[in-house]
Amino acid sequence: MRKILIAPSILSADFSKLGQEVKEVEKAGADLLHIDVMDGHFVNNITIGAAVVKSLRPVTKLPFDVHLMIENPEDYIESFAKAGSDLITFHIEIEEDPKELIRLIRYYKKKVGISVKPKTDVKRILPLLAMVDMVLVMTVEPGFGGQDFLFDCLEKVREVRDNFKKDVEVDGGVNEMVCADIVKKGANILVAGSYVFGSKDYAEAIKRLRGAQ
């Protein structure tokens, strides 16, 4: 059985003490740090830029799982790569050529993830699966933390898993009630923002999610 990895999303952290929050989730047993990058165009929210990623890099050893929800991602791959990202995920719904983007991320020797929004057919990414390290299945409409998990998206997790042996990550509305179902469908990385950062005990929250197996 695959090990379940937990990736807290810092979108729900207290930004006034971000470095400390990151250290705390690392100590609490997180496996990756999920960083949501939004530009106010691809989604209706603006969050974190490469400068924040760079300043967090010396604070933790956790791999940085950078989720780009931006238009024209090719213009920003270099800065996010140089800021210390380990894995860079982009959305299939952007207008650019996904193969070019994958090549660009590889040029900087970073792992590549590809993501699908809830209404996007998984078939759109099937031809690219051999070129990527991870698939991120969105289970809320991207843009904000703290939304309800969309159960309709669960079958997509299975469809991806049936066609892909590497990492399958689920992002949006993940909590202790839904994590077992997600893992049953074949996901092995769980992103959780509000569930982890909204809990009093980060270690307990992470343990509960990991117990999903």
Residue 117 interacts with Zn ion (CB under 5 A): yes or no: no
Q: Which stretch binds ligand DX5 (CB under 6 A): 22-30, 95-103, 121-129, 193-201?
A: 193-201
Question: Token pair for residue 78?
Answer: 């270099």
Identify the three-state secondary structure at position 60.
Answer: coil
One character per residue 139-158, x = contact with ligand DX5 (rule: CB under 6 A): -x-xx-xxx-----------
Q: Which residue shows structure tokens 């307990």?
A: 204
- Find the DSSP H helices in 42-84: 50-56, 77-82
Residue 111 interacts with Zn ion (CB under 5 A): yes or no: no
The C-alpha torsion from 18 through 20 and 24 to 27, rounded to 10°, is: 120
Single out the residue of 4, 30, 34, 90 in contact with ligand DX5 (rule: CB under 6 A). 34
Single out the residue of 10, 12, 22, 36 in contact with Zn ion (rule: CB under 5 A). 36
Single out the residue of 76, 80, 90, 195 in contact with ligand DX5 (rule: CB under 6 A). 195
Question: Token pair for residue 74?
Answer: 């090719």
Residue 171 annotated in active site: yes
Q: Active-site residue among 31, 36, 65, 167?
A: 36
The span from the CA of 92 to the CA of 12, in Å, is 25
Residue 36 annotated in active site: yes
Q: Which stretch binds Zn ion (CB under 5 A): 17-25, 29-37, 48-56, 99-107?
A: 29-37
Q: Which long-range contacts (CB under 8 A, 24 or more apart) does 174-178 make?
A: 174/139, 174/149, 174/209, 175/149, 175/209, 176/205, 176/208, 176/209, 178/149, 178/151
Residue 118 interacts with ligand DX5 (CB under 6 A): yes or no: no
Q: Which stretch binds ligand DX5 (CB under 6 A): 21-29, 92-100, 158-166, 171-179?
A: 171-179
Q: Are 88 and 80 in contact (CB under 8 A)?
A: yes
Residue 89 interacts with ligand DX5 (CB under 6 A): yes or no: no
- Interface residues with Zn ion (CB under 5 A) are 36, 67, 171
Name the residues annotated as catalytic.
36, 171
